[in-house]
Amino acid sequence: MSEDDPILTTREAAQLLGVAVSTIQIWMESGALPAWKTPGGHRRVRLSAVRQLQAQQRDGAATGEPGAAGTRAAASPAPAPRTFPVYDTPASHVLLDTPSEEVFDRLARLAAQVTDCPMALVTVLTPQRQWFKARVGIDLAETPREWAFCNGALFTGEPFVVGDAANDTRFAGNPLVTAAPHVRFYAGVALEDAQGQRFGTLCVLDREPRRLRERELRALRELAAIASEEIKRRG
């Protein structure tokens, strides 16, 4: 091992970058920060990768952009420019961090099936997190709130569709686009609780640009309504 490029633990990387350990873990899992696991299952990262990320963040802060389009490494976790005012969500929710449930897993599977999309999610958003209550075709369990395409659906309260994220200035620099799972298409419908608060979405995603037919969008809305009704029934 080179003394000039030592191996760091997740905690050491988090301290250098000034973020929580959980955030570092999300960046590593998504490929935003190149890392690997030891035989014991512990994540490790080179100092050079952390320094590169620090430089990218400084560049983004100086320009007001997440990075130079087309030239920045796909690993940059800097969020896409915030296009939508953030819809206020509570710090916690009845679904947040709960075990998987067949009712929501089934809705996600049906959403993927009726739209012919390889990925589908039931999401719960807090001020800092986008957590996945149900997921199809995605390994990530959550992302930072800033990465959430679902911000658009929550803000508008209407079905929100992004036909080609890589060619959309609002999302082209998003780590979910530039790194795994390489999202190109998104369609989401906001979910509401018993108080009428929008707290998350039922959404589908694809790695190819596309559009939904009217019947597919209608089916997605119907499935989202079922998810909302399940939450309202619980109070």
What pLDDT is stored for residue 30 in this prediction?
Answer: 65
Instruction: List the domains of the chain with CATH numbers.
Output: 7-63 (1.10.1660.10), 102-233 (3.30.450.40)
- Model confidence at 76, pLDDT cuts 50, 70, 90, reads very low
pLDDT at 60 over 60: no
The rounded mean pLDDT for the chain is: 84
State pLDDT tens for residues 175-190. 999 999 999 999 999 9
State pLDDT tens for residues 103-122. 999 999 999 999 999 999 99
State pLDDT tens for residues 131-185. 999 999 999 999 999 899 999 999 889 999 999 999 998 899 899 999 999 999 9
**SS3 readout for 11-75:** HHHHHHHCCCHHHHHHHHHHCCCCCEECCCCCEEEEHHHHHHHHHHHHHHHHHCCCCCCCCCCCC
